[in-house]
Amino acid sequence: RPTVQVKGQVVSGKDKKPAAGAAVVFHPAKADQGDSHKPIGVTDNSGHYSLTTYREGDGAPEGEYVVTVRWPMAKKSPLDTDPR
């Protein structure tokens, strides 16, 4: 399916701190959109992302999506357990 370039930024809280290292996933909202390829992006240090569906940075097919953002908590040391 053809894609449209999608870029954005994720920020957190009142101070709008960039959410560096967050995974942004677009889940198709309708069954007829298909579910085999979910557009995904990972934020850079300034919270910016570019979606990928089939090829790096190609964007997302047109349609309606439900967006989830997973921003793992940073570990204080390599010995810390997974904070999830």
Residue reference for tokens 């964007």: 59
pLDDT at residue 81, as a whole number: 61
Cβ atoms of residues 27 and 21 within 8 Å: no
Greater confidence (37 vs 77) lies with 37
Average pLDDT over all residues of the chain: 87
Task: Give residue-wise pLDDT tens across range 11-67.
Answer: 988 889 999 999 999 999 987 766 678 999 999 999 999 999 999 999 999 999 999
pTM comes to 0.79
CB atoms within 10 A of CB 63: 15
Pair 17, 8: CB distance under 8 Å: no
**Which residues make beta-bridge pairs with 60?**
4
For residues 51 and 40, is the Cβ–Cβ distance under 8 A? yes
